[in-house]
Amino acid sequence: MPITPTDKIWFNGALIPWDEARIHVLTHSLHYGMGVFEGIRAYETDRGPAVFRLTEHMERLHDSAKIMMMQLPYSVDELVEATKLTVRASGLPSCYIRPIAFYGYGEMGLNTLPCSVDVAIACWPWGAYLGDDAVTKGVRMKVSSWTRHDHNSMPPLAKTTGNYVNSSLAKVEALKAGYDEAIMLNPLGFVSECTGENIFVGRGGVLITPPTSAGALRGITQDSVMTIAADLGFEVRVDDVSRSDLYVAEELFVCGTAAEVSAVNSVDDRPIPCPGPMTTAIADEYARTVRGKVDRYKDWLEHV
């Protein structure tokens, strides 16, 4: 999806003009894929733009860095403040925010320990990730021929740039085959997640989402959805999901910061009723929550 530039990018401690946020071709992470990043959204509220669960995103960035043995030069609080600064400087009422920490220029070779770490935070307007109709008409899913990472080959709990090679292979395969998005199975054959979203399967009024042990990212939207669903009176379980569970689902949705809550209308050409009643209720409540319209979740909003 094309990027719409804004004025400034926060880069290693200061806001600089968008066009000047450049790096060298010998930047270490470009060669070896070891950067850590986040995807965050700010929404327009009655009290101006608010970033949804910003601190938790920055905590996850720190967790990703810890897994990678990368020393982040900024604390969670400093990154939270830098994000607010970046969003304020953009003047945008709502936006997508992309913090990234990566090994910079100066070292080559696989030992990352001597590498310097660069940190950037950019934001820009970003619309519906899986298309404008995703909530109402739903998306067509394909179970990928690519297997999701095993915990001992690539750590799926770290939001590492390199992990997304696997996601992009699956995404392009799905698009080329005429689908909208791919569902990834783990090496044991259980469902883990999608290329950039977590997944929920609904059956008999119960929602099931795969555990992190299945290779899913610990999704912040997934966590929000579990809370919202429980508060709406739906039973939610974290449990293994098989490929057949997908096919006989009574409703199915995926969720993530970029995708928000998007309904699924078929998996491998098996139609799924769409949008299901739980999906509709949760998507609606999530959309109101992120815009500060639901009192009980106001603590999730961090105003800039």
Figure out which of the listed residues 181, 193, 251, 285 binds ligand PPE, where binding follows CB under 6 A.
Answer: 193
209 sits near ligand PPE (criterion: CB under 6 A) = no
Least distance CB 133 / ligand PPE (angstroms): 18
99 sits near ligand PPE (criterion: CB under 6 A) = no
Least distance CB 60 / ligand PPE (angstroms): 7
220 sits near ligand PPE (criterion: CB under 6 A) = yes
258 sits near ligand PPE (criterion: CB under 6 A) = yes
256 sits near ligand PPE (criterion: CB under 6 A) = yes
Figure out which of the listed residues 180, 181, 197, 285 binds ligand PPE, where binding follows CB under 6 A.
Answer: 197
CA 163 to chain centre: 13
Q: Name the nearest CA neighbour of 193 among 255, 265, 127.
A: 255
64 sits near ligand PPE (criterion: CB under 6 A) = no
181 sits near ligand PPE (criterion: CB under 6 A) = no
Q: Reply yes or no on whether 142 is catalytic.
A: no
257 sits near ligand PPE (criterion: CB under 6 A) = yes
Least distance CB 113 / ligand PPE (angstroms): 27
104 sits near ligand PPE (criterion: CB under 6 A) = no
Catalytic annotation, pick one of 8, 142, 159, 171: 159
Figure out which of the listed residues 138, 202, 215, 219 binds ligand PPE, where binding follows CB under 6 A.
Answer: 219
- Residue least distant from ligand PPE (Cβ): 39
According to the 3-state scheme, what is the secondary structure of the chain? Answer: CCCCCCCEEEECCEEEEHHHCCCCCCCHHHHHCCEEECCEEEEEECCEEEEECHHHHHHHHHHHHHHCCCCCCCCHHHHHHHHHHHHHHHCCCCEEEEEEEEECCCCCCCCCCCCCEEEEEEEECCCCCCCCCCCCCCEEEEEEEEECCCCCCCCCCCCECCHHHHHHHHHHHHHHCCCCEEEEECCCCCEEEECCCEEEEEECCEEEECCHHHCCCCCHHHHHHHHHHHHCCCEEEECCCCHHHHHCCCEEEEEECCCEEEEEEEECCEECCCCCHHHHHHHHHHHHHHCCCCHHHHHHEEEC
186 sits near ligand PPE (criterion: CB under 6 A) = no
Least distance CB 198 / ligand PPE (angstroms): 5
Least distance CB 258 / ligand PPE (angstroms): 3
Compute the distance between CA of residue 161 and CA of residue 220 in angstroms, rounded to an integer: 18
* CB closer to ligand PPE out of 202 and 256: 256
Cite the active site residues.
159
Could you list the residues that contact ligand PPE (CB under 6 A)?
A: 39, 167, 193, 196-198, 217, 219-222, 256-259
